[in-house]
Amino acid sequence: MALDEARPAYRQLPIRKPRITCEARPDGSFIIEQAYEMPAAWRSVPHLFQVRAVEFADRPFVAKREALPGGGWGDWQTLTYGDALDKARRLAQAFIDLGAGPDAGVMVLSGPGLDHALVMMAAQMARAPYAPISPGYSLLDKSFTKLRHVFDLCAPKIIFVEDAEKFEPALAALPLDGKVVVAGKASGPALAIADLLKTEVTAAVDASIDQITPDTFAKVIFTSGSTGAPKGVIQTQRMLTAIIAQHDALYIAPETNEPEAHLTWMPWSHVGSNNIVFGDVINDGACLYIDEGKPIPGQFEETLRNLREIQPREFGSTPIFYSYMVAAMEADAGLRDHFFGRLRYLNYSTAGLSQDLFERLQALSVASTGQRIPIITKYGSTETQGVTIVSEPLDYTGPIGLPFPGITVKLAPVGDKLEVRAKGDTITPGYHKNPEATAKSFDEEGFYRTGDAARFVDPADPAKGLYFDGRVTENFKLATGTWVSVGPLRLELIENLSPIVEDAVIAGENRDEICVMAWPRRAEAAEMAGLPREAPLAEICAAPAVVAHVREKLAAHNAAAGGSSKRVARLILLDKPPVGEEIADKGYINQRGVLRGRADVVERLYAADPDPAVIRP
């Protein structure tokens, strides 16, 4: 897609231009690398943190609003770098005294918080593998199946929860003999973290830190478990510091030494916020503001409140977040202008951003600043951290860029696709206590198999980067034997049904034709329907104008589809939000989870005599 030179210019993107090498092999694979050299990596995150905490002792490190007794959130509470270092060392000593260490880790069941940040750092200082667990395993899944699984796998010595009473049912479901429960708000047998923070530091803490090497087992972060039981991904100190080094190699630091502010709602059980964001925050002496809002109805207002106060220079989130944010900023010029005032670029992750949202974000930026905002994306996984990054402003969605410095990407032929495989210091050595899964995840040359496919934006010019080409493992065959590429079709449908579709799930494995379940964007669909936003979602979905729009756009999509691998026979708009395993903590939809959880809806789609909610083009 050619750039329109008449449009406003982009703000300068503070990322160095790509300098790649690309080797085409006789077997049809490609080897791609960046020519930038990696700077020397820090020995470990605790070593880096101690240096930054002395250098920036009075700067805020982590901030979170105070929880109010009646619900809601009050003023910001902050933890400075200097205080965090002192408290983390005290807590590390307490952990060592309680028996934590390389074979006795620390598990955290609650979400982001100031105490959680201290536990994370203290565990690393004590060389006790730290495992942040999705709070949903304790608070939403009353069977506690996944919680017991990850607990048994990690066998932690210490379990931290923010509120012992809130997590009491989950804790009661675990075999806690010989374990120690630590809580921010303690009750029962739990130890209060405030008491542990009174521990006097001995030489044991420095002795432990001195024994940290790049290969020290720092963390275990779990996969979502969308295809089975969650797998524990080993995170070494080498991986954590290599992330920081590759960012130093590629990112252009701001000329000012003004402290940066990061605002994010993303869970700390996710590798992006736990490893990547925290690493950059510590390296830059920045502050991480914890956003207690979420991109769901009734909770996004807290995010908007925070966006009116915090003014980041870079911002990353998921497409579902940007969907909510765009609607809010289109209705509030003051919020828009504050957000774009210092912003250098936007980053989206975990799922494709629709072209509609992309263009609306650019329109907001131009209205506020007179310039387009660089919008980029990164590609990676829990096992790999960042593999590729877009290092030039995107003019359309879909590209995933080129390898980070220090990463070698192999595109390996798998069927009619090229699978992305990666090797480098940010790649996990394997899955915790799962040698079979580890062995299956690496090819004969030691490249991690991502299960994702990519293709060149321009096969004649590899420097133009890669385009995401779907999950190899998500694709399926129709009963006719025709392969359906789920990822690209999902993005195409979201785009073609713009602006009223938020996300879509593709059905049709072993069936004669493709059918689709889709969630509407409430604000845009309500406006199209001529109804207030607060109208029941079922009423919005059934509105004649909405149904007519979907029918017309589906017909246009099918006319251009070119074959049964893309043609959609029927679609139903879902009036109930995703729940449980249908949606990950990070906000993206689990295709398999939805198909399992809504098998009744799938049957409605394929019924011989479908009900009125089923839309046909």
571-594 mean pLDDT: 82
Query: What is the pLDDT confidence band of residue 349, given thresholds at 50, 70 and 90?
Result: confident
Contact status, residue 454 vs residue 410, Cβ threshold 8 Å: no
Query: What is the pLDDT confidence band of residue 577, given thresholds at 50, 70 and 90?
Result: confident
| Rounded distance between C-alpha atoms, residue 307 and residue 286, angstroms | 17
pLDDT of residue 130: 98
- Tokens of residue 564, six digits: 């049964």
137-157 mean pLDDT: 95
pLDDT of residue 189: 93
Query: What is the pLDDT confidence band of residue 227, given thresholds at 50, 70 and 90?
Result: low
pLDDT of residue 147: 96
Average pLDDT, the chain: 93
Contact status, residue 413 vs residue 28, Cβ threshold 8 Å: yes
CATH code for the domain defined by 45-212: 3.40.50.12780
Residues 6+ apart with CB under 8 A from 484: 475, 476, 477, 478, 506, 508, 509, 514, 565, 566
Distances (CA, A) of 182 to 133, 164, 185, 304, 480: 15, 8, 9, 33, 57
260-273 mean pLDDT: 92
Query: What is the pLDDT confidence band of residue 3, given thresholds at 50, 70 and 90?
Result: very low
pLDDT of residue 293: 94
Q: Which CATH superfamily is domain 20-41+295-471 in?
A: ANL, N-terminal domain (3.40.50.12780)
Q: Which residues pair with 77 in a beta bridge?
A: 64
pLDDT of residue 589: 80
pLDDT of residue 350: 60
Question: Environment class of residue 105 by beta-carbon count within 10 Å: exposed (0-12), middle (13-18) or buried (19+)?
Answer: buried
Is the pLDDT score of 220 beyond 70? yes
Q: How far is CA 394 from the centre of its chain?
A: 20
| Rounded distance between C-alpha atoms, residue 355 and residue 102, angstroms | 47
**pLDDT, tens digit (0-9, with 9 covering 90-100), for 426-484:** 999 999 999 999 999 999 999 999 988 999 999 999 999 999 887 777 778 888 788 88
Contact status, residue 516 vs residue 501, Cβ threshold 8 Å: no
Packed helices 544-561 and 486-496: angle between N→C axes, nearest 10 degrees: 130
**pLDDT, tens digit (0-9, with 9 covering 90-100), for 392-430:** 998 888 899 999 999 999 999 987 789 999 999 999 999
pLDDT of residue 1: 36
CB atoms within 10 A of CB 532: 9
Query: What is the pLDDT confidence band of residue 200, given thresholds at 50, 70 and 90?
Result: very high
The CATH class of 476-615 is: alpha beta
Q: Could you give the percent of the chain with pLDDT greater than 90?
A: 79
208-237 mean pLDDT: 91
133-162 mean pLDDT: 96
Q: Where are the beta strands (DSSP E) in 52-124?
A: 60-67, 73-80, 106-108
| Rounded distance between C-alpha atoms, residue 326 and residue 313, angstroms | 18
Query: What is the pLDDT confidence band of residue 257, given thresholds at 50, 70 and 90?
Result: confident
Is the pLDDT score of 226 beyond 80? no
Distances (CA, A) of 138 to 163, 189, 296: 12, 18, 20
Is the pLDDT score of 320 beyond 90? no
Is the pLDDT score of 563 beyond 90? no
180-188 mean pLDDT: 96
CA max distance for the chain = 75
pLDDT of residue 602: 95
pLDDT of residue 506: 95
Contact status, residue 303 vs residue 309, Cβ threshold 8 Å: no
When comparing pLDDT for 484 and 557, which is higher? 557
3-class SS string, 344-373? CEEEECCCCCCHHHHHHHHHHHHHHHCCEC
Is the pLDDT score of 2 beyond 50? no
Q: Could you give the percent of the chain with pLDDT greater than 70?
A: 97
Is the pLDDT score of 5 beyond 60? no
Contact status, residue 604 vs residue 614, Cβ threshold 8 Å: yes
When comparing pLDDT for 353 and 423, which is higher? 423
Q: Which range, of 13-17, 312-316, 592-596, averages the lowest pLDDT?
A: 592-596
Ramachandran bin of 591, using left for φ above 0, alpha for ψ from -120 to 50, beta for the remaining angles: alpha
86-94 mean pLDDT: 98
Contact status, residue 233 vs residue 223, Cβ threshold 8 Å: yes
67-90 mean pLDDT: 96
**Domain map of the chain by residue range?**
20-41+295-471, 45-212, 476-615
344-356 mean pLDDT: 83
The DSSP code for 273 is: I
Fold matches, 20-41+295-471 and 45-212? yes
Residues 6+ apart with CB under 8 A from 264: 273, 277, 288, 289, 290, 291, 316, 317
344-352 mean pLDDT: 83
49-76 mean pLDDT: 96
Ramachandran bin of 574, using left for φ above 0, alpha for ψ from -120 to 50, beta for the remaining angles: beta
